[in-house]
């Protein structure tokens, strides 16, 4: 009976032992986290830069369109003034 008791006692002691991470497992976990961060952080940074750059480009395109419309309007006004000048010059002769 003592063998059974001894076996049960060693089994109970094994069950009571804490099973912590070894240094190697902890180091592996940290390296995996570092690798994941090394891959994802540059992607996030590049995505943000692309977003803000495209936003700036869209803003500049809108300004360009406004300026082109202003240029058309000013050219139209200039043409009208030239036409009036030609008519006035022709009338003065």
**Residue 39 has which token pair?**
């891959």
As a whole number of angstroms, the distance between CA 73 and CA 67 comes to: 10
- The predicted pLDDT at position 1 comes to 63
What 8-state DSSP symbol labels residue 19?
-
pLDDT of 72: 98
Residue 93 has what pLDDT?
64
Alpha-carbon distance 71 to 64, whole Å? 10
- Return the pLDDT at 12: 79
Question: Which pTM was predicted?
Answer: 0.58
The residues near 21 (Cβ < 8 Å, ≥ 6 apart) are 29
User: In the chain, which stretches have pLDDT less than 50?
Assistant: none
């Amino acid at each position: 009976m003592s063998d059974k008791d001894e076996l049960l006692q060693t089994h109970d002691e094994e069950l009571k032992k804490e099973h912590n991470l070894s240094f190697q497992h902890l180091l592996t976990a940290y390296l995996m986290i570092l690798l994941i961060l090394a891959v994802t952080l540059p992607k996030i940074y590049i995505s943000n830069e692309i977003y803000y750059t495209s936003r700036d480009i869209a803003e500049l395109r809108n300004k360009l369109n406004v300026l082109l419309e202003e240029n058309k309007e000013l050219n139209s006004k200039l043409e009208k003034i030239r036409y009036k000048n030609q008519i006035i010059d022709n009338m003065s002769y």
